[in-house]
Amino acid sequence: MKRYEIGYYFQEGVRGIFLHGFMSFAAVGVIAACLLIMGSVSLLAVNIDGTIKEIQSQNEILVFIDEEYSEARAKSVGTDIARLDNVQSREFISKEQAMEQFIGKVGMDPTLFEGYDDEANPLRHKFSVQVADVAHMQKTIRQLEEIPGVVKTRADLGVTDFILGLRTLANAVSVSLIVMLLCVSVFIISNTVKLATFDRREEIGVMRVVGATNGFIRWPFVIEGFLLGLMGALLAFFLQWAVYNYMSVRLTEAFRLFELMPFGDILIIVLPVFVAFGFMVGVLGSVLTIRRFLRV
């Protein structure tokens, strides 16, 4: 393709957009609306999954050390704990710290325990262990109990099962909605682009009569489809940005514990996805439709 031909095709593609203003506006509007709906559901799913993972990270296993171990020897057990694959982090809590936490939790007067020494302290040294994946919580507990010096562990497996069930349900619902919206969006957008092209069948017929090649006819429509898809994607992106920020404020006010991640953190992902989707639908819609009119 020669340079002057590229310029001509681009010029004709832009002219086609303004020449058929209503259909072009309809195509851009449908692309933007479908992307906005699909993007909103996808971003909500991402935030829900992130919130569940944050709750998951707060689910801990308490690992109690043999009461005959000194503090230094008890700390050394942390090396074996850290070697386990599913252990994300561990924090040593001495029995003195455990006593201070207990006193603060029950609200007792600390002066009542001033005369207590290490021997009188009934609590044990322990580790607070955070796991990387709660799905392997029970396996990790078994591995922890096999470490020398560990006498018992404690974890709220009921909360773990609830988190796993919630994450599975949220992922299943999110994927189902996204796939459904994707199929509906592609169908609606493709048909809108097809209508825009079908509206110009007489123009295509005249070009064929005067001897224009298939490539000469096709390329302006391809570029027009690309531009329509790009405009729809950019419009949807900025609308998504505004809607997301608005919903972020409203949700934070309504649910203090639920905060959406900043849009700036996901902007670099959302923009390319929107542009790629707009390009795919615009170009494919034009190419597949124009083929009908180029058949001999």
What is the chain's pLDDT, residue by residue, as a tens digit (296 residues)?
555 567 777 777 777 777 767 777 877 888 888 888 888 888 877 887 777 666 666 677 888 888 888 888 888 888 888 888 888 888 888 877 777 766 665 555 555 555 555 555 667 888 888 888 777 888 888 889 898 998 888 887 666 667 667 777 777 877 787 777 767 766 766 666 666 666 666 777 777 777 777 777 778 878 888 888 889 889 999 999 998 888 888 776 666 556 778 888 888 888 998 888 888 877 777 776 677 666 64
What pLDDT does residue 238 have?
93
Query: How many whole angstroms separate alpha carbon 133 and alpha carbon 160?
Result: 10
Sheet holding 60-65, edge to edge: 87-93, 126-131, 60-65, 150-155
Q: Nearest-CA neighbor of 233 among 194, 192, 285, 281?
A: 281
Task: Map out the domains of the chain as residue ranges.
Answer: 3-55+163-294, 60-155
What pLDDT does residue 189 have?
60
DSSP helix/strand/coil, 86:
coil
Query: How many whole angstroms separate alpha carbon 278 and alpha carbon 231?
Result: 8
Computed over its alpha carbons, how large is the radius of gyration of the chain? Answer: 31
What pLDDT does residue 206 have?
76
What pLDDT does residue 195 have?
66
Query: How many whole angstroms separate alpha carbon 56 and alpha carbon 237?
Result: 31
Q: What are 158-201's pLDDT values in tens digits?
A: 666 676 677 777 778 777 877 777 677 667 666 666 666 666 66
DSSP helix/strand/coil, 157:
helix
Query: How many whole angstroms separate alpha carbon 286 and alpha carbon 193?
Result: 6
What pLDDT does residue 296 have?
46
What is each CA distance from 88 to 8, 73, 129, 130, 144, in whole angstroms? 60, 22, 8, 5, 13
Domain 60-155 architecture: 2-Layer Sandwich (3.30)
